[in-house]
Amino acid sequence: MFDGFRLEKVRLTSATLRVRVGGSGPAILLLHGHPRTHVTWHKVADLLVKDHTVVCPDLRGFGQSSIPDDTTDHSGSSKRAKAQDCIELMRYLGFDRFAAVGHDRGSYTAFRLAMDHPAAVSRLMILDGVPILEALERCDARFAAAWWHWFFFAQPDKPERAISAAPEQWYGGSPGEMGKEAYADYLEAIRNPEIVHGMIEDYRAGLSIDHLHDAEDRRSGRRIQCPMAVLWSLKDDLEALYGDILAIWKPWAGSTLTGKGLPSGHHMAEEIPDMLAFEINTFVAPDRAANPR
CA distance 105 to 224: 18
Residue 104 annotated as catalytic: yes
Q: Which residues pair with 124 in a beta bridge?
A: 100, 228
Cis-peptide into 292, omega within 30 deg: no
What letter represents residue 61's amino acid?
G
Choose the catalytic residue: 51, 58, 104, 287.
Answer: 104
Which residues does 47 contact at the CB level (< 8 Å), separation at least 6?
A: 273, 274, 277, 281
Q: Are strands 258-262 and 16-23 parallel, antiparallel or unpaired?
A: unpaired
Whether 42 is catalytic: no
How far apart, in whole angstroms, are the C-alpha atoms of residue 273 and residue 67? 29
The burial of 205, by beta-carbon neighbours within 10 Å (0-12 exposed, 13-18 middle, 19 or more buried), is given as: buried
List active site positions: 104, 266
